[in-house]
Structure 1
């Protein structure tokens, strides 16, 4: 019964690995199970890989595994796909969630089937996420992917690990790859997401960095306070009671006896002629004597020397998703989302090229049959201020409320799109200018009454055929309303 359950659904797999005994063994097992192998080999073939649901990495060594994992996790298209790592033995230097499941030899087809079944919850969560908007910059897409990765793997907390190769001494290698940044710099990007309210943080450590090169590799050393040389020696001091002269012990030694360098008298008895009150620092370079050495910092990367108080302190945080981050991950929304992007999540919006062609046909139909239609161009002039005041979550909430208001007054035959200038375009079929004006006024009145924050609307209405005689005339009239 268990075997039948494991074989219920077929999964598409892409195998990456260098040819060898381990690779051949995995290929043989994959040929025995119910699944589709979309590609295999040491190189990632994107045309085949993008059709695979699950990736398997076969690696003999840790460095080989890291190369394959980096190639997959750094891919903007493939970075979220579930991943199984297969190695001869446990690799201590690589851990979850760099991979989703790890298998070691000996490997049976039953173990592999169980592993594939165990990845289905991740697959199901990933399938619920809508595609990202074309208007997003690459970093915006990567940031959403990072949030989706954390959410789909149900990571309750993300804790950076110590990393001597990172400039800040800590890193999250898998996050660095997802974000497409150098080692350790993903933490800086995640702190920026925390500032935006997408991640919640808890302080893990504080690291001192060089103020010039921003690297943690700093040597804290004691130096001469006069010349800054590290060539110092701590020696005992002698105080001559008679003349009150105090100096390093070495300056009193003469032919195995203590002779005061100031008055020339021989010192015989400690506690009677002299005392040893403490120690001082003597510099071998400049010869100066000081009560204490001075602490100086030397950057081992760039060689910059600076006092400790000038060190740049960086807080290393552990992270977890905020409620806003979960919404952003599920809906694919980012602070860089345009008005069209946000409304696309809630409304059935027509792409502008299609809308424009449909509009041309509607103009011809209206002129032929003398059946009017109206085109409303609606702009929200204070949208950027809304986000600055209420944040991304507030903007999303307000626009969703606007969508509900629009849905109240629009018919199923009416079309909605966006102009290249990010304005809402509403095509009201068989509606003259009077009806269009009525709809807009109701929309404005309802918005002012319902919305928590007022939108600053600007609108313009053109009616065909009463105002525009052809498509070019319609475009001209719309432009005049700007």
Structure 2
């Protein structure tokens, strides 16, 4: 038998949503009209009381004859009495609060509450908290969550995507998804809810295994966290959507302004204020801009308010109170294949033998190995990549003036700036003693030029210790497969472009 969750009616816009959520989660649900019905249900063996006071419309709360003058006092009293009934029955009470509410408001009033959940919350999280209060393992609720948090699942997913040649993971509209989108290309590999899919994809994007591109922006209900919002125009005075656009008339003689419907008497226009007949537009009267008329209270206004109504839970909100959510498409980066080959998502510490300790960059032997790997990967996926050779202008003159030790510090400073700017998939290495070779994965010619321009701008603000010398660079670019499909060919093309930049006048980029 499933545990029964008791829902107390009275603050009520979310009752149906919560009851449906409990039933979908394998929990029983019973709505109690008042605390007397609640106590009866507790005696019958219900497992937990859930009280939602997150969005009570206090202005419409009828407390006539209840002994209260302030609706807030009535809410606090209800929580306290509900908590007392739950305590006597030995059952936990869980209270859902509004985003601006305070737990202390109720605990200081003497209410004993097992757990508070504050808006906005994810429905899965609410179910998890309820199950925890009931002593039920949360693994039964979301078995995929435990698997999703392991790197092995993500590695297996990446292997499957690479094996099947899936490079892009795109969202499609799905009315069953809480945020209106899902990722069907993942469904054949993992059994996850849409929310958990996004958590997993965002985690891999944060590790530079995937790149993200904005696909859409949506508004989410702050109560139930669903996308099903209806936007409508309402009367700013009473909030009714029963409004009409009205054509207005301004009577010049007496100055009266009102909707045309109040002037019309058969085929004639009669001013309701002075009773004069209006014959000629522009002479007797004019028609100002269109206005609105509320059919409920007769209020006339020029601009209606906009109200957002959640179709899922019935909550009503100002658009500014909705939660903005970005929907992304994802694409595998060059690092995806690397982590699959390594068998781990996080890189191990770089072997010190691969690093040139003097300048803090890779040895060129490691660069050559990575270049061969990048050529293989880019050939398979038909992606371009860039290779850059760059050097410090007038480096030899600096060696003669300050000595080789300070000159190496010069090169190390350049290396540090490069490392601060590069992506995890980029590979910088010391090249021919005094230059730097860089591999920029999945980067076309324009991307290489843009990187070098940013690097030059950064170097304008870098000065070496004990000297006023500023660092300037010259660079040459080659691009796969435009300049070749072999490592030696690409290096030769980049070096030829580098020499051209140096011989042309320095502080230049040749491509």
Task: Assess same fold via TM > 0.5.
Answer: no
Normalising TM by the smaller chain, what interval?
Answer: 0.3 to 0.5
Q: Scaled by the length of structure 1, what TM-score is found? A: 0.40
